[in-house]
Amino acid sequence: MENKDVRWQQRFQSFEKAFLFFKSAVDKENYTPIEIGGLVRSLDSTFELGWKTLEQYLYEQDFNITYPREIIKIGFQLKIIGDSDTWLCILQKCNELSHIYDETIAKQAVRIIKFQYYHAIEHVYCRLKEIQSE
Pick the CATH number of 4-133 from 3.90.550.10, 1.20.120.330, 2.30.140.10, 3.30.870.10: 1.20.120.330
| Sequential pLDDT tens for the chain (134 residues) | 456 568 899 999 999 999 999 999 999 999 998 899 899 999 999 999 999 999 999 999 999 998 999 999 999 999 999 999 999 999 988 878 777 777 788 888 999 999 999 999 999 999 999 998 88
Please, what is the angle between helix 68-77 and helix 33-60, to 10°? 70
In this predicted structure, what is the pLDDT of residue 4? Answer: 58
* Burial class for 102, CB neighbours closer than 10 Å (0-12, 13-18, 19+): exposed
Q: What is the pTM assigned to this prediction?
A: 0.92
